[in-house]
Structure 1
Amino acid sequence: MPVISTKGLIYTVKPGDTLFSIASRFGSTVAAIENANHLYPPVTDRGFIYPDDVLVIPTSTSTPILSHIVTNGDTLSAIAQTFDAHVDLLTGVNNVSNPNVINVGQNLLVPAFTYRIVSGDSLYSIARRFGVSMADIEEANADRPGFQGDVIWPDYHLIIPIPTSRNIFVIRPLPGSTFNSGDKVEGYARVFEAVVTYQLRDSNGVVVSNERFTMTDQGGPAYGFFSSTVSFDRQPTSASGELWVYSRSAKDGSIQDLVKIKVNF
């Protein structure tokens, strides 16, 4: 499955930009940017870009989670809406001191990754594969020159939002990943007493990995990083399932801030 394993940057073209200047600034190449955004016919004349075009800039940094580069007029609220995320979450994971103040050129980690479209894909099949809605994919890719909801191009780098809650952002595994016993769950969380809880279920409702917990490296109100190895307690009875990541209420033990990541076995 062609998930892009290196970081992409979400960049809005400014007057005076060229593909060469953008590639040089971010350590990419003109060819990589053209391919990622389908900057050639029939979308546009080869290599043409215009102010306010939103581009994905491939880089060689070895992390799949995207960063959004702040442009004029951006607000944290608008960026959060693009990825169906909460302002608190983006504020916390990016150590933003004032959610009403972000700076042009600032890099903000966002809950999304990129997928390279292959022949035979449709937006519907991609949405099902990753357990996200078509509407969320369309919102995340709005204003990109090579994106149309009814026509998608092989090799185009499609932005896929990652499900989050107000207080939990799972960065590993990515939605749609193949998950094995011994693999890790990692992410950021703002949770009571720094305790993050997780379990793994297959699509028949069988609990493959019993409920366990791990700790973040910072307690609330900070969003701390967490990492834990997930061991299977029984074999899956289906080909796919969900990793549940959440917290337990201190008041009544109920599940709070549940995030479900679709995985394959």
Structure 2
Amino acid sequence: MPIVPGTHVLYTIQPGDTLYGIANRTGASLQDLIRQNALYPPITESDLIFPGWAVLIRLPGMTEHSAVLHQVAPGDTLYRIAERYSVGLDMLAALNRLEQPDILSVAQLIYIPAIVYEIEEGDTLYRISRRFGIPLTELMRANRSRPGLSPDVIFPGYRLILPLPSSTNIVVFQPLPGSRIRSGQPLVGAARAFEANVLYQVRDAANRVVVREQPVTASEGAPAFGRFETELRFNQPPSAPTGTLLVYTRSPRDGSIQDLVEVPVLF
């Protein structure tokens, strides 16, 4: 599964920019920049780019920790950035430790809870959205203004931004959607939860409970967002090759499930 490690930055082309200048400024490979954004015929003439296009740039020498960053462009607001990547506004502010979320600086880097996927031969956007549990509308919105992307035609080598599974108050960092899990698999995320209490379980595609509902305590309780981390310990083996990790909270009043995040997984 071609999830690409490393740090990627989404940059909006400005008047006067050239591909060579962008590559030289960021240290990125010019050929990789062209291939990963489909900056070639029939999408565009060789070396021709336009202000307002968004290009994904992989920064060199940063493979140890994977991250997706959005470089603030003129006119950007945190609300617009959060809407683009289908993440809650408060969550995005908390993940970036923004004390004044209403004030952003041009060229400021905003961390986005997302991964980068490189398209392979035979891929379609519909299949990618199904595999990673991301609505096609959200996938397209996260990659809007990018050349070389349409619902009908995609190119091998093109890199897509895929938002991580989240709700208003919970985001799951690990396991990655569509990945294979086993007993002992780390579960990592962040949540804004009453008394810092987060719950999780795993069910296979036949609705067999593989991991019974278990609690994990976040590092901070509401109104703050806290990090949580534990291990998924299987209570019984799965009876199907696919399933779903469910992460959520329960209402302190009636016990109903709230802020449900569903992560598709393989066994």
Whichever residue aligns with residue 62 of structure 1, its letter is E
Q: CA deviation at 1:125?
A: 1.1
Q: 1:239 to 1:92 in 2, by over 3 A?
A: same
Q: TM-score, with normalisation over the residues of structure 2? A: 0.93
Q: CA deviation at 1:243?
A: 0.8
Whichever residue aligns with residue 172 of structure 2, its letter is V
> 54-63 or 34-43, which moves further after superposition?
54-63
Partners of 1:179 and 1:22 in 2: CA distance = 39
Match of 1:41 in 2: 41
Q: Deviations over 1:181-217 (max 9, x none)?
A: 1111111111111222111111111111111122222
* Amino-acid identity (%): 42
Match of 1:56 in 2: 56
Whichever residue aligns with residue 160 of structure 2, its letter is L
Gaps of 5+ in 1: none
Q: For residues 9-158 of structure 1, what are the structure 2 equivalents within 5 Å?
A: 9-59=9-59, 60-158=62-160
SS of 1:114's partner is strand
Poorly superposed stretches of 4+, deviation over 4 Å: none
Whether the aligned pair in 2 keeps the contact of 1:87 and 1:99 (CA below 8 Å) is no
SS of 1:50's partner is coil
Q: Deviations over 1:114-142 (max 9, x none)?
A: 11111111111111111111111111111
Whichever residue aligns with residue 157 of structure 2, its letter is D
Gaps of 5+ in 2: none
Partners of 1:178 and 1:189 in 2: CA distance = 23
Partners of 1:96 and 1:168 in 2: CA distance = 18
SS of 1:171's partner is strand
Whether the aligned pair in 2 keeps the contact of 1:36 and 1:58 (CA below 8 Å) is no
Q: For residues 105-254 of structure 1, what are the structure 2 equivalents within 5 Å?
A: 105-254=107-256
Partners of 1:98 and 1:50 in 2: CA distance = 32
> 151-160 or 251-260, which moves further after superposition?
251-260
Aligned pairs, how many? 265
Q: CA deviation at 1:44?
A: 1.4
Partners of 2:97 and 2:167 in 1: CA distance = 18
Q: Deviations over 1:61-107 (max 9, x none)?
A: 43344111111101111111112222111111111223322221121
Whichever residue aligns with residue 8 of structure 1, its letter is H
Match of 2:260 in 1: 258
SS of 2:258's partner is strand
> RMSD over aligned Cα, in angstroms?
1.6
> 243-252 or 228-237, which moves further after superposition?
243-252
Partners of 1:45 and 1:112 in 2: CA distance = 30
Q: CA deviation at 1:35?
A: 1.6
Partners of 2:26 and 2:247 in 1: CA distance = 34
Q: CA deviation at 1:161?
A: 2.1
> 38-47 or 163-172, which moves further after superposition?
38-47
Whichever residue aligns with residue 101 of structure 1, its letter is I
Partners of 1:172 and 1:134 in 2: CA distance = 22
Q: TM-score, with normalisation over the residues of structure 1? A: 0.94
Whether the aligned pair in 2 keeps the contact of 1:20 and 1:29 (CA below 8 Å) is no
